[in-house]
Amino acid sequence: MTAAATLLFVTSLGAQASKSGVQEFDPQAFPGQVVDDVVVPVPSEVFSVLDKLGEPNWQQELRDVDFPNTTDRTKLAMIFGVVVAEGFVAVQAEDTEKVKDIGREVIDMATALGLIKSVRPHAQAILDAADKSDWRSIRKEFDQTQKTVRDSMEQMKDMDLSQCVSLGGWLRGTGSVTSVVTKNFSADRAELLNQPMLVEHFLSTIGKMSPKMKEHNTISDVSKGLTFILEKMEGAVDGFTKDAVRDIGKTCDSLLLEIRSAK
Amino acid sequence: MQTKPSLLCRTAAILTASSLIITAPLAMATVDDAHSFAMEAAMPFVEQGFIVREDYWNGEVKSGQKLMVKHQMFKGNEYAFWLGSANSNVKFELKIYDEKGQEISIESKTSGMFASSRVNPPKTGTYTIVFSLASEKENGLFWALAYGYR
C-alpha cells in the first residue's frame, strides 16, 4: 500500500468538469457495462440524517429482541437482518444494555444458522465495545457482522438466504424511520423514504428466488408488502404525505410481526 | 574452500529478490488488493469522520471500459466514493450523476492506485456512479468501489 503513496499523482477531475461546463449523463444511452449489484444502505445512514434534522427519541424506537425458536432458515435469515438493524437503533439510542442483549441475540441467531464460527469474533467485539460505549466501533461491527453472514451464505451458494438478511434489515430500518417521521412529520424527514430503487431491487431479487423460496408464506407476503410500498413511493411525486408515511410504516410493522411469529 | 560471492553478485541477488517481493503481489493482483487500495483512499476521509461501509462493489474490467452502478443516497449526508485498482499505472475516471444526469461530484482526485470523489446529494434518491480504469500495459483490470458517509 505504501507503494501507492510513492506514486502520488493528484489531478482534479472536478476542475476538468467545470471547464467544459455542465455535463449531462443519460443512463439509458450508457455505452458501458452496468453493474447489477446493489449495496443496501445500513439503517444508520438514514438515522444519521434524522439526528441532523432533530433529536429523535431513539429509546422509544427500540423493540423487543426475544425471537421465537424456529428451524425455518428463511425466517432465521430475515430475523438475523432484523436483529442487526435493531442493533443500529440501540446504538442510536446509546443504550449499552440493549446493545449487549442484541450482541447475545446475534450469537444465538448465528448458532441457529450454523455460522457462529465466523460471527463470534464480531459479536464479541460488539460486547467489548459496548462496555466502552464505543458507538462508532459498534456500528462498524454490526455492519461487518451482516456482511460476514451474507458472505458465508453466498459461499455456501445460499444466495436467496443472503438476500433475506438484507430484506429483514431493510424492513426493520424502514419501520424505525417511518415511526420517527410520523411522530415529527416534515417534508425533509419524509423524503428519506424515497427509496424506490431499493424496493425494486428486493422485488427483483424475490422474483429470481427458487420456486420453493417464492412459495414460502413470509416471502410471498413480503413481496406483496413491497409492491404496496413501491406504489406509495412512486406516488409521492410531490413529496410524501403523512398518511403515505404511516401506510409504509404499517406495512413494515405487519411484515416484521409475521417474520417474528413462530409459525 | 568456499569462495565468497562478489559484491556485484550479492547486489544482483538482493535486487532480484527485492523485485520478486515487489512484483509478486502485483502479478497475483486480486479484487482484494483493489479493495485494499480503495481503503487506503478512504483513510484521510475516516480521519474527517466518514464511516466506511463494509459492503462494496468489485470485479474485473477491460481497460477503458466504462462501468455504471446505481446507488441510494440520502440528502443530509455527505458521501465519499473510493475506487481502487490492484494494477499499477492506471488512469481513473469516477463521476457521480443525479437522476437528471447532472454531475454532482464536488471534489474528485486520483492518486496512484486509487481515485476518490465526494458528494453532497441534493435530494434523497437514486444516483448513478460512472467509472473507468485505463492501462497501457494490461487489458484486464481488477477494481473495487467502496463508499462512506458522515
Instruction: Sketch the domain layout of chain B as residue ranges.
Output: 29-149
Which residue ranges of chain B lie beneath pLDDT 50? 1-27
pLDDT value at residue A103: 96
Cα–Cα separations (whole angstroms), residue B42 to A20, A37, B13, B79, B141:
28, 21, 37, 11, 20
Q: Is the pLDDT at A23 greater than 70, yes or no?
A: no
Partner B contacted by A257 (CB < 8 A) = no
Rounded-to-integer distance, Cα A107 and Cα A200, Å: 31
pLDDT value at residue A165: 97
CATH number of B29-149: 2.60.120.380
pLDDT value at residue A257: 96
Average pLDDT over residues A67-91: 95
Average pLDDT over residues A228-253: 97
pLDDT value at residue A99: 98
Q: Is the pLDDT at A196 greater than 80, yes or no?
A: yes
pLDDT value at residue A67: 86
Residue A192: which residues within 8 A CB-CB, separation 6 or more?
A46, A49, A50, A177, A181, B74, B75, B76, B124
Average pLDDT over residues A128-154: 96
Could you say which residues from 104 to 143 on chain B have a Cβ atom under 8 Å away from some Cβ of chain A? 105-115, 117, 123-126, 128, 130, 132
Q: Determine, yes or no, domain membership for A26.
A: no
pLDDT digits (tens, 9 = 90+) for A98-134: 999 999 999 999 999 999 999 999 999 999 999 999 9
Q: Determine, yes or no, domain membership for A28.
A: no
Average pLDDT over residues A127-154: 96
pLDDT value at residue A26: 83
The three cell numbers of residue B132 are 473507468
pLDDT value at residue A31: 84
Partner A contacted by B53 (CB < 8 A) = yes
Q: Determine, yes or no, domain membership for A232.
A: yes
Task: Please give the tally of structural domains in chain A.
Answer: 1
Range of the domain at A244: 41-53+69-260
Q: Determine, yes or no, domain membership for A13.
A: no
Rounded-to-integer distance, Cα A57 and Cα A54, Å: 10
Task: Provide the Cα torsion B120, B121, B123, B125; round to 10°.
Answer: -150
Average pLDDT, chain A: 90
What are the chain A neighbours of B51 within 8 Å (beta carbons)? 44, 136, 139-140
Lowest-confidence region among A10-24, A70-84, B29-43: A10-24
Residue B7: which residues within 8 A CB-CB, separation 6 or more?
none
pLDDT value at residue B7: 43
